[in-house]
Amino acid sequence: MSMGKVFAALIMALGASACASVDTASRNAPFDTVPTDMAAPAPSYALESFAVSVPTTLKVSEANLYYPPGDIVWRGEARGNRYEQVKAIFDDSVHLGARSLDGAMPVRVEIEVTRFHALTEKTRYSVGGVHSIEFVMTIIEPQSGTVLRGPKPIKASLVGYGGQMAFDAEARGLTQKYRITQHLARVVRDELTKAEGFVAPQRGVTQRIQPLEPMNTALAATE
């Protein structure tokens, strides 16, 4: 073989090798290097039905301690069936958060409460704390049973007022029940209207509620 043919063959081989290297690098590139301007579309839902469950396996505590052990700690109403009281709060929250939605797709919402740890009397009338609320939410297409989102564990904790702030809030009608109901309504609304659903604040606890149905404009402005 002449020197010219050898040189030409060598050039072709190097070219093929370079193409293969570029192709391999492209195929092995991480996904986050692929540019995209596409954002996930917001859902378009309308609430057809919902169900809230508060399992009786959750432990109720009536101990007046700063932080009693238990899954359900609720003093915002007179002592009674705490499971039913917590369920009623979630029922009201779903109604408030979803009743005005008129999206294209009817959905069913299922919620299972896993923790509802509000403030005891001792905590509320001294240092204050956090209403620690957790639940699992599933959004379902009711005809086919297709799960559209979830089951999604949600931590929807809210700052609980203490001391003079708690007294002042009560005097203005901003009870624990009102604040928690409005907060959960907003969480449900976010899950049904935002592409990413509810996103907890950076520190994991919501400081201020955003009322969906304020008792009056002046009170809402003070919250």
The pLDDT score that the predictor gives to residue 134 is 98
Q: Which two tokens stand for residue 144?
A: 């086919």
Residue 103 to residue 220: CA distance in whole angstroms: 27
Q: What is the pLDDT of residues 62-74, one digit of tens each?
A: 999 998 999 999 9
Average pLDDT, the chain: 83
Average pLDDT, integer, range 184-205: 93
Beta bridge partners of 73: 117
Q: What is the pLDDT of residues 99-124, one digit of tens each?
A: 999 999 999 999 999 999 999 999 99
Average pLDDT, integer, range 185-202: 94
Query: In the chain, what are the helix, strand and coil shares in percent, each to the nearest 5?
Result: 35, 25, 40
Higher pLDDT, 146 or 223: 146
Weakest-pLDDT range from 9-23, 57-71, 198-212: 9-23
Weakest-pLDDT range from 70-84, 142-156, 177-191, 197-211: 197-211
Angle, alpha carbons 68-59-85 (nearest 5°)? 95
The pLDDT score that the predictor gives to residue 208 is 85
Residue entry with tokens 């931590």 = 155
Question: Nearest-CA neighbor of 42 among 201, 197, 148, 198?
Answer: 197
Q: Tell me the torsion sign for CA atoms 117, 121, 124, 126.
A: negative
Residue 150 to residue 152: CA distance in whole angstroms: 4
Residue 24 to residue 28: CA distance in whole angstroms: 6
pTM of the model as a whole: 0.79
Banded pLDDT at 2 (limits 50, 70, 90): very low
Bond before 151 cis per omega within 30 degrees: yes
Banded pLDDT at 39 (limits 50, 70, 90): low
Helices (H), 28-162: 82-98, 121-124
Question: Nearest-CA neighbor of 57 among 70, 69, 68?
Answer: 70
The pLDDT score that the predictor gives to residue 215 is 63
